[in-house]
Amino acid sequence: MNKGRVKAVALYSGGLDSTLAILQMMKYGVEVEAITFMTHFGCDVSDKSTCGHDPYPAAEKFGFKVKLSHLGQKFIDIVKNPRYGHGKNMNPCIDCRLLMLEEAKEYMKSAGGQFIITGEVLGQRPMSQRRFSLDLIAKNCGLDGRLVRPLCGRLLPPTAPEKEGLIQREWLLDIEGRSRKRQMALAEEFGLTEYPNPAAGCLLTDIRYSDRLRDLLKYNPDPDFNDLNLLRVGRHFRLSDKAKLVVGRDEKENDLIESLRRPDDCILEVKEFGSPIGLLRGEADETVMMTAASVVARYCDGKNQPLLRVTYVGGSSDGSLETAPAGEAELAGWRV
């Protein structure tokens, strides 16, 4: 066995599995530096509602360093055109893992690491953790066998670090399947008392979010970050090929929508009653304006009135118009 310094870079989400993978290696004296990736689709430190976790408590407790890295446009590109396809929704999990590994490889080089570790568990996730996918990822990640899965590595072919004696096969575990029992027992063994519940995945695994994203990409193949962030909030309505409306569901969403407003967006609301904010983005002719106003009217507190005055600010002009609230069937036709 190699007696020199052994260092690994870990793909780290802050979740149970990736933390355990790190602790399992540290247990045998491997120095680990973690890298946490952020994207515009959650699953990262900035988004607690999906599979994103705060990576710092475990890092502080167990003494490993965490680097944050945003995948930005590179990630958007694979969401639009994944080489290995999407999962059940818009999640390009295999391409996502490959991109993260590619980035981690560069970091490994600069950090002086010898291999990369991940918290993958054979058979735990439908798209990216089937045996076929794990093999495909290992083969295509450009790491030449320097990818180690400490939680299930004993079930997989030997990796380069094992062959080189940097690590021992006995250090690796043989966890398989969707049950978390073994991970929970291991967490107890390590004294890892606080860890988040397992999450389904990033926003791209969410059916509603994916529908909105598909709609956005259909009419705007090059969305910017503001367009993507807007998908997370409110009710969405496609009013024409060139215009969509987002309506807040509560005050918090109204504030968020306002914060995402661009100079050419139009804001609609009913001043006489408690009213949501409607943000109309795109090119709006008279028909689109009337439709948008009727939708906003439908969600205001005066929705049972036959006619409501809806004000609009921004876009090409300011003003107000009178409309009946939209009916359910109409809403269903526009809703994304």
To ligand SF4, the closest distance from the beta carbon of 92 in angstroms equals 6
Is 96 a binder of ligand SF4 (CB under 6 A)?
Answer: yes
Q: Answer for the pair 203, 43: CB distance below 8 angstroms, yes or no.
A: yes
Is 92 a binder of ligand SF4 (CB under 6 A)?
Answer: yes
Is 43 a binder of ligand SF4 (CB under 6 A)?
Answer: yes
- Torsion region of 143: left, alpha or beta (phi above 0 gives left; psi -120 to 50 gives alpha): alpha
Piece in contact with ligand SF4 (CB under 6 A), picked from 165-173, 197-205, 295-303, 309-317: 197-205
Is 15 a binder of ligand SF4 (CB under 6 A)?
Answer: no
Is 172 a binder of ligand SF4 (CB under 6 A)?
Answer: no
Alpha helix ranges (H) inside the chain = 16-26, 56-62, 72-80, 93-111, 131-140, 160-163, 181-190, 207-219, 225-230, 251-259, 286-298, 328-334
Piece in contact with ligand SF4 (CB under 6 A), picked from 201-209, 215-223, 254-262, 266-274: 201-209
To ligand SF4, the closest distance from the beta carbon of 177 in angstroms equals 18
Strand partners, 10: 34, 117
Is 35 a binder of ligand SF4 (CB under 6 A)?
Answer: no
Q: Answer for the pair 107, 76: CB distance below 8 angstroms, yes or no.
A: no
Is 268 a binder of ligand SF4 (CB under 6 A)?
Answer: no
Piece in contact with ligand SF4 (CB under 6 A), picked from 85-93, 207-215, 238-246, 306-314: 85-93
CA 65 – CA 59 distance, rounded (Å): 6
Chosen residue from 20, 21, 32, 204 binding ligand SF4 by CB under 6 A: 204
Is 202 a binder of ligand SF4 (CB under 6 A)?
Answer: yes
Piece in contact with ligand SF4 (CB under 6 A), picked from 89-97, 228-236, 272-280, 314-322: 89-97
CA 231 – CA 218 distance, rounded (Å): 14
Is 323 a binder of ligand SF4 (CB under 6 A)?
Answer: no
Is 205 a binder of ligand SF4 (CB under 6 A)?
Answer: yes
**# of chain residues touching ligand SF4 (CB under 6 A):** 11
The SS3 of residue 183 is: helix
Strand partners, 7: 31
CA 263 – CA 255 distance, rounded (Å): 16
Is 141 a binder of ligand SF4 (CB under 6 A)?
Answer: no
Residues in the chain: 336
Is 201 a binder of ligand SF4 (CB under 6 A)?
Answer: yes
- Per residue, what are the HEC states of 243-259? EEEEECCCHHHHHHHHH
Q: Note the residues at the interface with ligand SF4 (CB under 6 A).
A: 43, 91-93, 96-97, 128, 201-202, 204-205
